């Protein structure tokens, strides 16, 4: 007679092992289905890096504006402090003169009580009490009034200096924040570039057509010869082909975009301001169709980039950390208008 045995039930330990095995299989299947994202192509990296460079340049121009404001405030504070120092010296001389008058009165028989008050430990409080002026001689009245006026002027100058010092502290904080934003964008861009192989980076540089100091890569700039101070500015900038782009740099060995244009015009004997937004208001605005070599060319709707028109549809500009100072077609960068200095 056949034996009928009940199938052996799996133990708890066996169930645990089977469950773990099944879970591992599911995890492996899931990992296979969700493969690691593909490495970005050279063109994708270039597009992302270019976008980061633009964001960094916007922050750079804001930092340049903060730096310009900081320099202006420091100059104003220095002038105010000089005025206060000179004014305090004049005030001391006035008080000494009034003290001499009091001494003369003492030698001649006594000092007017109002003069005694004036020369006391707290003469400033006394000076506010104009009612006593009728006790003084005409000469003394004039001296006291001059001292009062000088004190008011000094108080106002000190208040102005204090306000400027606060503005300076705020501007320095803003400048620090803008610089940090620039460095963060540039670091992110460099991280992306580091994902490229050496061959890919070489190909990217070749496509960019980076200019060099010798001018061997100089493009066809047409037949229009630059002249005057615009021509002199362009000629100066051309000597910097291949120079590095560094945020905030003003030359002579490295530049950012507005730093190059400011430096170039300075070599031509013309002073212009530091940022793209202020340079856009320096001279006469002209349409792109009327550009002449040496004119400033402003790019993008927010005007965060500037270069020098070089002729034949080309600009000479401090492009970005990868390209440095080079020639480039203005059509690559959304030109807005030109400015003739």
Burial class (CB in 10 A: 0-12, 13-18, 19+), 125: exposed
* 35 backbone dihedrals φ, ψ, rounded to 5°: -65, 155
CA distances from 66 to 55, 167, 170, 192, 234 (A): 17, 11, 10, 29, 27
In 3D space, the residue among 117, 72, 60, 71 whose CA is nearest the CA of residue 260 turns out to be 60
d(CA 99, CA 103): 6
Question: Of 315, 271, 320, which Cα lies nearest the Cα of 51?
Answer: 320
How far is the C-alpha of 321 from the C-alpha of 52, rounded, in Å? 11
User: CA-CA distances (angstroms) from residue 335 to 99, 225, 250?
Assistant: 70, 22, 23
Nearest CA-CA partner of 340 in 270, 265, 286: 286
Range list of H helices, the chain: 12-33, 42-107, 113-118, 123-127, 138-193, 198-208, 228-238, 257-267, 276-279
Residue 22 in tokens: 């099944």
SS3 250: strand
The CA angle 118-124-129, to the nearest 5 degrees, is: 75
Which residues are designated catalytic?
257, 305, 317
Measured CA to CA in angstroms, residue 50 lies from 182, 185, 327 at distances of 14, 11, 17
Residue 334's CB: how many other CB atoms inside 10 A? 11
């Amino acid at each position: 007679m056949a034996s009928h045995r009940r199938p052996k039930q799996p133990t708890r330990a066996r169930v645990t092992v089977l469950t773990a095995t099944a879970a591992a299989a599911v995890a492996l299947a899931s990992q296979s289905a969700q493969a690691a994202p593909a490495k970005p192509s050279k063109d994708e990296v270039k597009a992302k890096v270019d976008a980061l460079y633009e964001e960094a340049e916007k922050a750079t121009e804001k930092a340049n504006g903060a730096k310009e404001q900081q320099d202006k405030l420091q100059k104003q504070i220095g002038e105010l402090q000089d005025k206060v120092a000179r004014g305090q010296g004049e005030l001391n001389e006035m008080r000494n003169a009034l003290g001499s008058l009091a001494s003369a009165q003492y030698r001649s028989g006594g000092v007017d009580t109002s003069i005694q008050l004036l020369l006391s430990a707290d003469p400033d409080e006394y000076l506010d009490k104009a009612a006593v002026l009728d006790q003084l001689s005409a000469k003394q009245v004039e001296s006291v009034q001059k001292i009062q006026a000088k004190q008011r002027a000094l108080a106002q100058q000190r208040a102005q200096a204090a306000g400027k010092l606060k503005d300076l502290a705020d501007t320095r904080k803003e400048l620090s924040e803008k610089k940090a934003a620039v460095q963060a964008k540039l670091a992110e861009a460099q991280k992306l570039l580091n994902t490229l192989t050496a061959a890919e980076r070489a190909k990217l540089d070749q496509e960019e057509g980076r200019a060099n100091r010798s001018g061997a890569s100089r493009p066809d700039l047409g037949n229009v010869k630059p002249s005057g101070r615009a021509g002199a500015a362009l000629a100066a900038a051309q000597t910097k082909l291949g120079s590095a782009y560094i945020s905030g740099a003003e030359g002579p060995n490295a530049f950012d975009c507005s730093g190059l244009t400011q430096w170039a015009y300075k070599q031509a004997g013309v002073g212009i301001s530091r940022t793209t937004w202020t340079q856009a208001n320096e001279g006469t605005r002209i349409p792109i169709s009327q550009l002449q070599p040496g004119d400033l060319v402003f790019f993008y709707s927010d005007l965060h980039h500037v270069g020098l028109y070089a002729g034949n549809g080309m600009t000479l500009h401090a492009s970005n950390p990868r390209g440095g100072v080079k020639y480039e077609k203005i059509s690559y960068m959304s030109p807005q208008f030109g400015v003739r200095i």
